[in-house]
Amino acid sequence: MTKISAAISAVGAYVPDYVLTNKVLETLVDTNDEWITSRTGIKERRILKDEGKGTSYLAIKSAQNLIEKSGVDPKEIDCVIVCTATPDMLVASTAVYTATQIGATNAFAYDLSAACSSFLYGMTTAATYIESGRFKKVLLIGADKMSSIINYKDRATCIIFGDGAGAVLFEPNTENLGYQDQLLRSDGIGRDFLKIEAGGSILPATHETLDNEQHYVYQDGKNVFKYAVSNMADVSEKIMKKNNLTHQDIAYLVPHQANKRIIDATANRVDLPSEKVMMNIQKYGNTTSATLPLLLADYEQQLKKGDKLIFAAFGGGFTWGSIYLKWAYNS
Ligand code: UT7
């Protein structure tokens, strides 16, 4: 019997129009373009300004872009997963609303949350559904409206994050292209380094938590940076070794876009030159769950059937990991 692998067969993306530049941030907090650029690699990020629009708006737009480009019939989609750290609402799933709005009326849908590693983990979930033979079309979306949880008076966080969404379709493949292997990790030691303290079940929102600004993202950047550098590089190196891959075999590293210095450290460890490292942090910042699919959308034209890609991510929790995937189509 032919082995079924899970391949990405289409990509879509969406970022809002409003551009928040380093220059504008200089007017909000005590920072400057030179510091932000040299410490993070970020020049600008996109922000969803429209009142009443949440993460589902971004998710829907990216999915509609995928549907338009690929011509897939939304009614044939079996499952919609929205990877996000900023759902529209608690309890009512963002993915369910997204699926209905894009016409995926025969799909079941749910959200998947693992901070900046959400999309990476979601790739494993989607691929496993396909490899098992149970489902034929899984739409995996990474979407975050980070501006909804950022304090624009906190220079430790507001310079980093942006809004955006990307979507990929996973389908069965009989040429052994697509998803190959993974190394996924997590460690609860990270819980206090990157979090939103209030609004969850431990500390429900009150007037006091609002006054204390505990509904915003808190990050101990130095510690997160330290863990991110060593762990993202580690898993990338290990998955390549495990699959007998050298830097010459790899077409691209597809790294989470949190800080250019973390990306460079990972690339150095696996000996990949900058032209083999996907990068768009300069224009989008850290879009959390959306970084990996936004990279695929930006580089789709350059990718060739059979290209070997190494994905890597690190995020709050801590959560991190690496995935080895073979690209399945020419654009
Ligand atoms: O995607 C989820 C995971 N998140 C990450 O991977 C993010 C990991 N962390 C980082 O990317 C970096 O730690 C940051 C970009 C957040 C901060 O960069 P850093 O090089 O670690 O800076 P730092 O916090 O060590 O601060 C260095 C100096 C400090 O001044 P002193 O004490 O040396 O005088 C800060 O007060 O830079 C100062 N500083 C700033 N200056 C201008 C901190 N933030 C800013 C700022 N503008 N925005």
From atom 21 of ligand 1, which residue's Cα is the shortest distance away? 222
2-56 tens-digit pLDDT: 899 999 999 999 999 999 999 999 999 999 999 999 999 999 999 999 999 999 9
Between the CA of 153 and the centroid of ligand 1 the distance, in Å, is 15
From atom 37 of ligand 1, which residue's Cα is the shortest distance away? 35
Tell me, using a 6 A CB cutoff, whether residue 39 lines ligand 1: yes
User: What residue ranges define each of the domains in the chain, with the CATH number in brackets?
Assistant: 5-175 (3.40.47.10), 179-326 (3.40.47.10)
Q: Judge whether residue 1 has pLDDT over 80.
A: no
Q: What is the mean pLDDT of the chain?
A: 97
Active-site residue, selected from the candidate residues 22, 65, 79, 116? 116
Between the CA of 2 and the centroid of ligand 1 the distance, in Å, is 51
Q: Which two tokens stand for residue 215?
A: 């509904």
pLDDT of residue 198: 97
From residue 94, alpha-carbon distances to 55, 101, 163, 314 in Å are 7, 11, 16, 23
Measured between alpha carbons, how far is 86 from 64 in angstroms, rounded to an integer? 20
183-207 tens-digit pLDDT: 999 999 999 999 999 999 999 999 9
Q: Judge whether residue 174 has pLDDT over 80.
A: yes
pLDDT of residue 2: 81
